[in-house]
Chain A
Amino acid sequence: MSAIDLSDLTVWFGHGAERSDAVKSASFSVDTGESFGLVGESGSGKSTVLRAISGLIDSWAGTMQLDGKPLGRRRERSFYKAVQMVFQDPYASLHPRHTVDRVLGEVLKLHGFSDIDARIDKLLDDVGLGKGFRFRYPHQLSGGQRQRVAIARALAPEPRIVLLDEPTSALDVSVQAEILNLLSDLRAERGLTYLMVSHDLGVIGHMCERIAVMQQGRIVELLDVAQMRKLSAEHPYTRHLLDSSVRAVRQA
């Protein structure tokens, strides 16, 4: 069964003459337990797709299904127990006056966990921060440390589906490796499903089985990672993307 199924999804901002469509008739589905990558140009609508699934944008048409059930306009709390999102922008997504302890504690309480103390320590360990960070405020953390708090918060309710928007682009490669290994382990242990946006094709190739390529609001190509490695893409934009990233690595 598909964990996520999007068909003909259009998402727009503004009304009337001001309307601009950020996502245009996008369709794809992600199997349960699969890790699916969304790549493409900056501004092509990748974050918008994830935000629409999360219920953060009202202006959309088409159908979105979760585990075979259509999503409506509102999201229940049970949705957020099953589906969590890691935002592209870790600054905007953490409350500036809440400590790490409070951020994680509140999520855990909201989802009915009781052994909160132990869970906070475990989560901080999992993302490689450790207890020392528990009482820090966001402005006392480096960019990568903030992103790890955001990842810990998303993992806190033990979701089945995780929407990851550039989860490691603020991280250095060593922490990135730790986080990607953690995500792989969680997927193997708990059968999680990932829908992951990244502009780093190395990361996508490592994590995902299949990808969708977006350009100007449209999905221009779907391909699997084997095709991606062989650089056998049909669409000129995909080819351009693959070429430039292979070139970037080779020149080094």
Chain B
Amino acid sequence: MTNLLDIENLRVRFPTRQGHFDAVRGISFSLGRERLGIVGESGSGKSMTGRAILKLIRKPGEVTADRMQMGKTDLRTASDRQMRKIRGRHASMIMQDPKFSLNPVMSVGQQITEALTTHERISRLDARKRAIQMLDAVAIRDPERVMGLYPHEVSGGMGQRIMIAMMLIPDPEILIADEPTSALDVSVQLSVLEIMDRLVTDRGMGLIFISHDLNLVSQFCDRILIMYAGRIVEVCQAGKLHEAQHPYTIGLLNSVPDLQHPRPRLDVLKRDPAWSAAPSVSALT
């Protein structure tokens, strides 16, 4: 089976006052028709990895790689025009901050129907119906009312689901979801995960699922990359996350508060300089 995505030696670098800062330091991985989880502490380079794939790193940030292959396209040499086409049809990204990515001066309904009419030949009325169905599918109560609201008028979790609904419109082959359920309560989270799950199992989509919820990722994904300081420190089968070997991964697992097992104080990570010095682990398949 061919991969949807092959990335080798990806680097993302930003100039700063104190010289260069390497947000992603030479990581390699591939994505098949699977649910690939990316976890890791804040600032470890998860979002920058996702954005780099779609060439969404803003100047003065720089992206380099030995290989960035999406199907037949070499992403490294793809033009802006090609990238726009790819982002519209083949790959979408659900940004970490949904409200930031929605247009603040357009109502929710206008935005979804516009996305629909640019992607397919569909009448306004049908687009409206579809939009309402999509909001309903992501478990939004009272979708008719929500259609008329502006982004600042929806709750955190509603904004997140509106973004998800919009990103699914083009029926992408690759979906990069950056913390897509972090603002959702467990029951709504389940409905959203079900939707993504169906896209992977029924339509063979490849999903990159960025999250800091370790329990969720280990249940939902197939494979997990654990990132630290811009590198991959460990790769594991999702179901085996709890058998992880790397002290960093173990540290992350131990800092999760658990309702059933209260502790007076949560464990925090004691970072070892050796973790960031070690070479990145390859997650190519």
Contact = CB atoms under 8 A, between A and B. Distances in A.
Contacts of B100: 91-92
A105 interface: no
Interface stretch (B26-34, B36-44, B165-173): B36-44
Given A144-B43, A248-B219, A43 B183 contact: no
Contact of A178 (B141, B185, B263, B268): B268
A251 to B, nearest CB: 5
Interface residues of B, number: 59
A171 B242 CA distance: 20
B205 to A, nearest CB: 23
Contacts of B158: 42-43
Given A144-B42, A246-B260, A199 B179 contact: no
Interface stretch (B66-74, B111-119, B123-131, B249-257): B249-257
Give the interface size class of chain A: 35 or more
B81 interface: no
B259 A175 contact: no
A13 B265 contact: no
Contact of B42 (A171, A240, A244): A171
A166 B184 CA distance: 10
Given A174-B252, A175-B42, A241 B259 contact: no
A92 B268 contact: no
A202 B257 contact: yes
A77 B211 CA distance: 38
Interface stretch (A61-69, A115-123, A135-143): A135-143
Given A174-B252, A181-B268, A216-B141, A166 B257 contact: no
Interface string B145-162: 100000011111110010
Interface stretch (B84-92, B186-194, B195-203, B274-282): B186-194
A186 interface: no
A201 to B, nearest CB: 5
Contact of A88 (B58, B183, B262, B268): B183
A170 interface: yes
Given A42-B188, A43-B157, A206 B257 contact: yes
Interface string A200-233: 1111111000000000100000000000110000
Contact of A252 (B40, B161, B215): B215
B185 A199 contact: yes
B41 A175 contact: yes
Contacts of B145: 20
A178 B40 CA distance: 15
Given A47-B155, A175-B42, A177-B267, A252 B242 contact: yes
A171 B212 contact: yes
A25 interface: no
B14 A140 contact: yes
A206 B96 contact: no
A16 to B, nearest CB: 15
The 10 closest A-B pairs by CB, nearest first: A144-B42, A42-B157, A172-B212, A177-B266, A177-B255, A206-B257, A205-B259, A202-B257, A199-B185, A244-B186
12 contacts: A42-B158, A92-B152, A145-B42, A172-B41, A174-B268, A175-B42, A201-B259, A202-B256, A229-B262, A241-B185, A241-B187, A248-B219
Interface of B: 14, 16-18, 39-44, 47, 58, 96-97, 99-100, 140-141, 145, 152-158, 161, 179, 182-188, 190, 212, 214-216, 218-219, 241-242, 251-252, 255-260, 262-263, 265-269
Given A88-B183, A145-B43, 16 more contacts: A39-B185, A40-B185, A42-B188, A92-B152, A143-B97, A144-B41, A165-B156, A174-B41, A177-B255, A180-B257, A199-B157, A202-B259, A205-B259, A248-B186, A249-B215, A252-B241
Interface of A: 13, 20, 39-43, 46-47, 88-92, 132, 135, 139-140, 142-145, 148, 165-166, 169-178, 180-181, 184, 199-206, 216, 228-229, 240-241, 244-246, 248-249, 251-252
